[in-house]
Amino acid sequence: MTFFSWPLAIGYLILAPFIGGFFDGLDRKISARMQGRTGPSVFQSFYDVSKLLQKESKMVNHLQQFLVCGFLVFVVFTGVLFFAGADLLMIFFALTLAGIFYVLQASSANAPFSALAVQRELMQMMAYEPMVLLTAVGFYVVTGSFAVREISLADRSAICLMPGFFLGFIFIMIIKLRKSPFDVSTGHHAHQEVVQGLNSDLSGPVMALVEVSHWYENVFLYGVIGLFILNNQLWSVPVALVVCFLVFFLEILIDNVCARVKWQLMFRSTWIFTIIAGVINLLVLILFHLGVK
C-alpha cells in the first residue's frame, strides 16, 4: 500500500510548517547541546517567525516581495506534488524553479552582500544539482518508474540497490538544509561570512515567508530520504521515519564537526562525491542489469 496520495499532500500542505518549524527548533537545540550550551526552546523558530510577522517591512523593491512569494508557492508546489505521488523529475524541476525564484529575489535587491550571496548560491546549485538529477535517474533504473507513487510500491526498498545515491543525497542535503559551507549559509549560526546570504535585504513579514518556505522545503527533503526506504510492506513506514530521524541527527553532527567548510571545498567535494557515490552506483546498476527493465 502507498501513502502517497492527495490526502497526504493536503496533510503536507497543512502540517509541514508545524513539523518543519518544530524540527528547525530541535535542530538548534541539539546543535547547542553539542556545543555544550543550553540552547533556545524547541519552539524558538515559531517565536522568531511570529516576531518577524509583527515587524515593520522595509522592502527594497516590490519585485522582491513577488519573488519571495514565488519561492514559497513553488516550494509548496514541489512538496504537494511529491506527497501526492507525482513524477519525480517534475518535482525536482519545480524545486529548482523555486530555488531560482529565491536567487532572483536577492539579485533584485541590487545590494553588494546580496549580489555576493547570489553568486555563491548559484555555485551551490551547480554543486548539488547533478546529484539531484542522478537520484531521479537512479530511482527510474531501480524501479522502472519516475512516479513517486510507484517507487514507493516497489517490492524492495530502493536503498538496497542504490546505497551510493542515498549517501550522495545525504551529502547534498547538507547544502540544501543550509548547514554548510559557512560562507554561503543563511542558517541561524554565528558562523556566516556573507551577512545573511540571500536574506540580507529581507526584513519583517517577507523574511518570515522565507523561513516558512524553508520549513516546507526541509520536510520535502526528508520525504525524499524516506522514499529510499519505502516499499510495499507496511513495516517500511516506521523504518523510513527512523532513518529520517537518524539522517536529521547526522546532518546536525556534520554541521557541527565541519563548521569551517568554505565554498571552494564544498564545490569540489560535492562533485567528487557525486561521481564516486552516484555515478559508480549507476554504472553498477546498468552494467549488471540490476533493477527493473
Partner 1 sequence: MAKVSKSPWVLHYDGASCNGCDIEVLACLTPMYDAERFGVINTGDPKHADIFLVTGGINEQCKDVVKQLYEQMPNPKVVVAVGICACTGGVFKETYNILGGVDTVIPVDVYVPGCAARPESIIDGIVKGIAVLDQKREAMKQGKLPELNVEDISEDGKEQASANEAQNAEAETTANAGEESK
Residues making contact with partner 1 (CB under 8 A): 28, 32, 35-41, 44, 46-48, 50-51, 54-58, 188, 190, 192, 195-196, 199-204, 207
Cα–Cα distance for residue pair 237/43, rounded to 1 Å? 26
Instruction: Count other C-beta atoms under 10 Å from residue 187's C-beta.
Output: 21
Least Å from the CB of residue 184 to partner 1: 15
- Indicate the SS3 state at residue 256: helix
Cα–Cα distance for residue pair 144/231, rounded to 1 Å? 14
- Residue 252's nearest CA partner among 195, 159, 163, 173 is 173
Least Å from the CB of residue 191 to partner 1: 11
Between 202 and 277, name the residue whose CB sits nearer to partner 1.
202
The dihedrals phi and psi of 96, each to the nearest 5 degrees, come to -65, -40
Least Å from the CB of residue 55 to partner 1: 5
- Provide the residue count of the chain: 293
Between 43 and 140, name the residue whose CB sits nearer to partner 1.
43
Between 47 and 249, name the residue whose CB sits nearer to partner 1.
47
Between 157 and 192, name the residue whose CB sits nearer to partner 1.
192
Alpha carbon of residue 12 to chain centroid: 15
Residues 143 and 291 sit within 8 Å (Cβ to Cβ): yes
Assigned C-alpha cell, 149: 507513487
Residues 102 and 110 sit within 8 Å (Cβ to Cβ): no
Cα–Cα distance for residue pair 14/79, rounded to 1 Å? 11
Between 39 and 181, name the residue whose CB sits nearer to partner 1.
39
DSSP 61: -
Between 149 and 188, name the residue whose CB sits nearer to partner 1.
188
Least Å from the CB of residue 261 to partner 1: 19
Peptide bond into 205 cis (omega under 30): no
Least Å from the CB of residue 109 to partner 1: 10
Between 2 and 196, name the residue whose CB sits nearer to partner 1.
196
Between 39 and 99, name the residue whose CB sits nearer to partner 1.
39
Least Å from the CB of residue 199 to partner 1: 7
> Could you give the count of Cα atoms lying within 13 Å of 79 in the half-sphere of its Cβ?
29
Least Å from the CB of residue 205 to partner 1: 10
Under 8 Å CB-to-CB from 252, ≥6 apart: which residues?
Answer: 27, 30, 31, 34, 179
Least Å from the CB of residue 179 to partner 1: 16
Alpha carbon of residue 84 to chain centroid: 18
